[in-house]
């Protein structure tokens, strides 16, 4: 464990995840209790469940009525839903009864997640955005080059309007709940108003401040002689609100946000929030994975060796990236969580009190919660620190990569971002994994990523990597599948039928291609071996 000073322990008590502790979410109290041996925070009376495939809804209805519950949402396409109990019901007894009923695969509390706070554009040109271009400007100082090296990347591509990404956060500045309102976030062709999943009754208007800041990092209107620059100048953004005016969301709002964004057609989802693990949260992650959607998530601001969920799912799902934070000296930010799950890092600032050594971006141009002490963000533009900010930079980079190759899979995007990162900070990067415990593969480098991506090409079906697709590749794949032979490099080269698994089907497909004028080779997307 890294040593922490007394002042940082004190800051941790008040930093982001614990200081804003509202009593309600969507009109219901948020409570604390113990579930499966762990302390949790959950929405009073809310139960999330997944029906068994053979369960009839009528049987569930009879069970609900007998337990004093009513169906509030679902079942949806994942066979999941939400129940509401009466205020007098014991949620944990109801959970035990439902889990033992034989009707559901799981039932669990609706646990709380928290937002992690945290060209020619005026503030870029005047050095405020050191994370885009750090030349050692004072303030904040730091090491020249301790940035994401995006200015050179913009010469390759500043982004494309053909790329659509999703942001699950607290919203975007709106006037009367309908009209884009911020001078740097007012292009209706780019910013798509999505679903109000926090159900605060004001569309996706941001009354917290966090979502606006993250959005500006990713995709503020750039090269418009005003304001700040975003990582991607041209991509389109779907704004789904999953956090309310106090930065509170739930595992259900996360799940619903992922479903909505994936079905809308996004390629990348930014979720700058997190909390505990749950079956409902993992089901959403798996759904995004099955639809080839990259999920970029923040590790957390807990000053500790612990990665929050859904970021922690990066261990098991190759479409998930867990992001930690660096400061202007290319070191792990003191507030940032870290651990073996980290994929990469990006600048996140130094921490409270927020100032010039933190991340400067857009903020709502009307009063919001984060204008108040102890955060005191300024209207229109201001400084915030956190792994949320780092998360937005990685999402912006993924969007730039899709602008030069729209067919990259979620797994390939993660691989390119990780392999092109800079191993900074003088941490131990282990040879076996290429990762450090603090920064994963390192701090992202946008220019290197786009250069790496430009050469990230290979002949699909060329399993032995000799530059030709021949019978030798059939032999190579048979040896791999059935005789413990070496794997194709990259693995996707061994998936010519592009079904995201290397199986006998690929042998048949390649045979038909070589000898029977079969279908042409396709882009593969597998990152793991399947039999």
Which structural domain, as residue segments, surrounds residue 357? 145-453
> Beta strands 320-326 and 294-298: pairing type?
parallel
What is the mean pLDDT of the segment spanning 423-449?
94
Q: Are 390 and 325 a contacting pair, CB within 8 Å?
A: yes
The answer to whether position 154 is within a domain reads: yes
- Asked whether residue 338 falls in the same domain as residue 234, the answer is yes
- Asked whether residue 449 falls in the same domain as residue 462, the answer is no
- Asked whether residue 354 falls in the same domain as residue 448, the answer is yes
pLDDT at residue number 329: 95
List the CATH number of the domain containing 482: 1.10.1330.10
pLDDT at residue number 520: 61
**Model confidence over 201-225: pLDDT tens digits?**
899 999 999 999 999 999 999 988 8
Last residue of a domain, one of 431, 453, 475: 453
Is 388 one of the catalytic residues? yes
- Asked whether residue 498 falls in the same domain as residue 438, the answer is no
Candidates 182, 210, 411, 441; catalytic one: 210
If one counts the domains in the chain, the total is 3
- Asked whether residue 81 falls in the same domain as residue 183, the answer is no
Q: Is 90 exceeded by the pLDDT of residue 490?
A: no
Q: Which pTM was predicted?
A: 0.81
Q: Tokens for 390, please give them.
A: 């780092």
The answer to whether position 237 is within a domain reads: yes
- Asked whether residue 448 falls in the same domain as residue 463, the answer is no
Last residue of a domain, one of 93, 115, 137: 115
List the CATH number of the domain containing 384: 3.40.50.200
**What is the DSSP secondary-structure string of 439-486?**
TBT-B--HHHHHHHHHT----TT-TT-SSS-SHHHHHHHHHHHHS--P
Candidates 113, 121, 169, 289; catalytic one: 169
The answer to whether position 120 is within a domain reads: no
> For residue 434, what are the contacts with CB-CB under 8 A and spacing of at least 6?
418, 419, 441
Is 210 one of the catalytic residues? yes
- Asked whether residue 309 falls in the same domain as residue 442, the answer is yes
pLDDT band, very low/low/confident/very high, at 457 (cuts 50, 70, 90)? low
Q: Is 60 exceeded by the pLDDT of residue 318?
A: yes
Candidates 388, 403, 420, 436; catalytic one: 388
- Asked whether residue 395 falls in the same domain as residue 485, the answer is no
pLDDT band, very low/low/confident/very high, at 62 (cuts 50, 70, 90)? confident
- Asked whether residue 207 falls in the same domain as residue 284, the answer is yes
The answer to whether position 466 is within a domain reads: yes
- Asked whether residue 49 falls in the same domain as residue 167, the answer is no
pLDDT band, very low/low/confident/very high, at 176 (cuts 50, 70, 90)? confident
**Model confidence over 148-160: pLDDT tens digits?**
999 989 988 999 9
The answer to whether position 443 is within a domain reads: yes
Q: Are 132 and 229 a contacting pair, CB within 8 Å?
A: yes
Q: Are 165 and 356 a contacting pair, CB within 8 Å?
A: no
Last residue of a domain, one of 94, 115, 136: 115
């Amino acid at each position: 464990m890294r040593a922490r000073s007394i002042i940082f322990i004190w800051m941790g008590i008040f930093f982001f995840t614990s200081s804003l502790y509202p009593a309600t979410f969507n009109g219901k109290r948020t409570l604390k209790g113990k579930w499966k041996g762990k302390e949790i925070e959950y929405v009073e009376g809310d139960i999330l469940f997944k029906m068994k495939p053979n369960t009839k809804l009528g049987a569930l209805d009879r069970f609900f009525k007998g337990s004093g519950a009513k169906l509030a949402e679902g079942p949806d396409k994942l066979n999941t839903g939400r129940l509401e109990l009466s205020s007098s019901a014991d949620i944990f007894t109801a959970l035990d009864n439902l889990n033992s009923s034989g009707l559901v695969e799981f039932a669990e509390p609706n646990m709380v997640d928290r937002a992690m706070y945290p060209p020619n554009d005026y503030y870029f040109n005047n050095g405020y955005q050191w994370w885009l271009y750090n030349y050692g400007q004072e303030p904040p100082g730091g090491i020249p080059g301790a940035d994401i090296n995006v200015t050179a990347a913009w010469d390759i591509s500043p982004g494309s309007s053909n790329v659509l990404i999703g942001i699950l956060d607290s919203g975007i500045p709106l006037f009367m709940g309908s009209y884009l309102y911020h001078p740097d976030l007012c292009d209706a062709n780019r910013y798509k108003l999505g679903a109000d999943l926090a159900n605060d009754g004001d569309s996706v208007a941001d009354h917290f401040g966090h979502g606006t800041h993250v959005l500006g990092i990713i995709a503020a209107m750039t090269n418009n002689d005003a304001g700040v620059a975003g990582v991607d100048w041209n991509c389109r953004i779907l704004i789904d609100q999953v956090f309310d005016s106090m930065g509170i969301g739930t595992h259900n709002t996360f799940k619903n946000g992922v479903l909505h964004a994936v079905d809308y057609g996004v390629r990348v989802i930014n979720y700058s929030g997190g909390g505990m693990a749950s079956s409902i949260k993992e089901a959403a992650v798996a759904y995004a994975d099955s639809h080839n959607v990259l999920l970029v998530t923040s590790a957390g601001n807990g000053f500790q060796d612990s990665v929050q969920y859904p970021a922690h799912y990066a261990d098991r799902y190759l479409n998930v990236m867990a992001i930690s934070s660096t400061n202007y000296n290319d070191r792990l930010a003191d507030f940032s969580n870290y651990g073996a799950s980290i994929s990469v890092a990006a600048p996140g600032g130094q921490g409270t009190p927020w100032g010039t050594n933190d991340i400067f971006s857009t903020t709502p141009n009307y009063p919001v919660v984060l204008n108040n002490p102890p955060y005191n963000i300024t209207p229109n533009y201001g400084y915030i620190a956190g792994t949320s900010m780092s998360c937005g930079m990685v999402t912006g980079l993924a969007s730039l990569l899709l602008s030069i190759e729209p067919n990259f899979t979620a797994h390939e995007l993660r691989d390119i971002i990780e392999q092109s990162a800079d191993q900074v900070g003088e941490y131990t990067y282990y040879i076996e994994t290429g990762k450090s415990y603090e920064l994963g593969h390192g701090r992202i480098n946008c220019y290197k990523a786009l250069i790496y991506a430009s050469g990230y090409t290979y002949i699909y079906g060329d399993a032995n990597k000799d530059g030709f697709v021949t019978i030798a590749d059939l032999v190579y794949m048979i040896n791999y599948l059935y005789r413990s032979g070496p794997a194709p490099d990259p693995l996707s080269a061994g998936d010519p039928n592009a079904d995201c698994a290397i199986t006998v089907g690929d042998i048949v497909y390649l045979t038909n291609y070589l000898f029977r004028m079969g279908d042409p080779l396709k882009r593969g997307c597998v990152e793991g071996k399947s039999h």
